[in-house]
Structure 1
Amino acid sequence: MMTEPITSPTEPIAEPVAKRRKNANMLRMFFGNWKSLIGVILFLIFVVIAVFAPLIAPYNPLSTNFTQNLAPSAKHLLGTTTTGQDIFSQFIFGTRATLIVGVGAGLISTFIGLIFGVTGGYHGGWIDNILNFISNIFLVLPSLALLIVVESLVKSTTPLLNGLIIGLTGWAWGARVFRAQAMSLRGREFVTAAKLSGASSLRIMVTEIIPNMTSVIASNIIFAILGAILAESGLAFLGLESVNSVSWGTMLYWSQSGGALLNGAWYWFVPPGLGIALVGLSLVLMNFSIDQITNPRLRQEQGGKRRGRKSARIGA
């Protein structure tokens, strides 16, 4: 009578333990890098401002009950506009609107790009030809011109509607990247093993291919968020957004319309511009660390630099 081999009780646990150890090392590397740490702190500061905007802002951002063109003071930290609105309150609520637009549009565009890119790259053939043809149409269309045309057709748009439009029209570049990654992964051994085990195409794409594209997806989300923030701010600055909405882009629009630059009212246009720049900086810094974690060559170079500095200190 044949007996089944006895396995050690530690064998099934070894793989999850190794995976947890690997994830812990990646997190330690991410938060141990000064670039990523600065980026995370900056981004979290803006997230906290956006979440607690009603508690932080001292006044209603649309209220016009204050004296016009006031300089920064204890009562109005960033002064007032030409219509008597508190600029600091507008900046706080504009942070919420801008981040919602950026994160929402980034996630929407990444999700659509994943569907088109992974589906076409995995299946190939006529499915890939059709999806790639649609992606190429969105690629050759000028993004800013397309957004302006869509915005002109939709009257009195809000930041949320602008974010939806940006997300639905800005997915093509991500789709091309995801398609190339899926084409390189579909011939790997683990994908072949999943096919032989009888897994469906959808299951293979969701459980086998997409998890191996985590770094690419994370980088795409980061740059999609940054692109969405810049696009929304540009559209609002051009006046293609409701004048009753409050975002960093509309603050720049009203500061330009109110002659803030000519009158030396730096406290009106500098805060929203600086906010956009700092959010972009935080996203770029986090993306540097993602590249370092996922690229073995960069990890080895960074480790060699750390060992060289340590040896130099020991020698000194």
Structure 2
Amino acid sequence: MTDRLPPTGGPAARDEASVVGSPDLALVYETGVDVKERSQWAYARMRFFRHRLAVASLVVLVVIGLVGLFAPQVAPYGYDDIRLEDATRSPTLDGWHLFGTDQLGRDYLSRVVFGIRTSLWVAVFVALVSTALGTTVGALAGYYGGRVDNLLMRFTDLILTLPGLAVLLTASVFFGSGDPLKIGVILALLFWTAVARIVRGLFLSLREKEFVEAAKAAGASDLRIIVRHMLPNCVGPIIVNTTLVVAAAILVEAALSFLGFGIQPPNAALGKLISEGQSEGFELWWLVTFPGLVIVVIALCINFVGDGLRDAFDPTQRRVRA
């Protein structure tokens, strides 16, 4: 959709340009060029792609995600392929053992690739489920307020007061560990509180807006007002929080697997690979180093992407860089 601006340099045009405070806009009014209207998403996309570190991190994450998704096709060997003749080999190009091998001759690059697939699946599952649950709780609390808000927020505060690690360890023992789906559900039930508080705060401010009052006056149902009118105004903060949950879930899942309460064989997991390799100490240093580096790279890239999304959706909150 294009709008033809009037080619005039009169007082009205100058006043409107002065309100916006942009000399470029004044030039547009004087020349009468066609201006295309851009949505909030278009401006957010432009600001995100100006964040070079976030874009580079997104590219790295896409590559890592594709490697994990197509692990059987990408990995040079199977996850449990045993080759005793290649046991305890340090990283080398010979035989494509780029990450070395373990005591049984299993290629560690292949094991890391399969571990990426499982760890990323769990992290994305946790982020989606916790975001959906937290958004629902926060939206209901913020929209209805009163007793509903008080009840839901007190329950949220109760979850926040629980010692996270103790709850995770207890739940892993009680429900059984080893299954990525069970670990994902346990983590999701603890990660939803942050987004619930964020969405509640946004809804408390939005429910007094004129467009919400107009929708109520027009006879729109509560569900329609929440989904069609209010949630779209909360998408930015929700997306940013979701990226941070992915990073946190990867780290927590790795810690649980390292302690022996997370994903267990025959399922692959980066944390479990570190746990298996740490018993060898410095002799087989690559068994701990490479899975750990992959976890660090994934977590850092996700946080950089989150920073880029935060700047894109809310440029007024952009941090001042020295």
Coarse TM-score class (shorter-chain normalised) = 0.7 to 0.9
What amino acid sits opposite 2:67 in the alignment? I
Structure 1 counterpart of 2:132, from 111, 136, 157: 111
Structure 1 counterpart of 2:290, from 266, 271, 292: 271
Does 2:102 correspond to 1:84?
no
Does 2:273 correspond to 1:251?
yes
Specify whether residues 300 and 86 from structure 1 end up closer, same or farther in structure 2 by C-alpha distance, changes over 3 A only.
closer
Moved over 6 A (4+): 299-302
- Separation in 1 of the partners of 2:127 and 2:168? 15
Quote how far apart the aligned CAs of 1:300 are.
11
Does 2:62 correspond to 1:44?
yes
What amino acid sits opposite 1:201 in the alignment? D
Quote how far apart the aligned CAs of 1:268 are.
1.2
Quote how far apart the aligned CAs of 1:159 are.
2.5
> Which residue number in structure 2 is paired with residue 69 of structure 1?
88
> Which residue number in structure 1 is paired with residue 43 of structure 2?
25
RMSD over aligned Cα, in angstroms?
2.2
What amino acid sits opposite 2:64 in the alignment? F
Structure 2 counterpart of 1:280, from 278, 284, 299: 299
How high is the sequence identity, in percent, across the aligned residues?
31
Does 2:189 correspond to 1:168?
yes
Does 2:314 correspond to 1:295?
yes
Q: Give the paired residue count.
A: 286
Specify whether residues 28 and 69 from structure 1 end up closer, same or farther in structure 2 by C-alpha distance, changes over 3 A only.
same
- Separation in 2 of the partners of 1:25 and 1:201? 30
SS at match of 1:262: coil
CA deviation profile, 1:214-257 (whole Å, cap 9, x unmatched) = 11101110111111111110100001132322111111110123
What amino acid sits opposite 1:63 in the alignment? D
Q: Normalised by the size of structure 1, how large is the TM-score?
A: 0.84
SS at match of 1:153: helix
> Which residue number in structure 1 is paired with residue 17 of structure 2?
none
Q: Which moved more, 1:23-32 or 1:182-191?
A: 23-32
Q: Normalised by the size of structure 2, how large is the TM-score?
A: 0.83
Structure 2: any 5+ residue segments left out of the alignment? 5-35
> Which residue number in structure 2 is paired with residue 124 of structure 1?
145
- Separation in 2 of the partners of 1:54 and 1:300? 42
Q: Say if 1:38 and 1:285, in contact at 8 Å, map to a contact too.
A: no
Specify whether residues 96 and 250 from structure 1 end up closer, same or farther in structure 2 by C-alpha distance, changes over 3 A only.
same
Q: Say if 1:26 and 1:293, in contact at 8 Å, map to a contact too.
A: yes
Q: Say if 1:219 and 1:287, in contact at 8 Å, map to a contact too.
A: yes
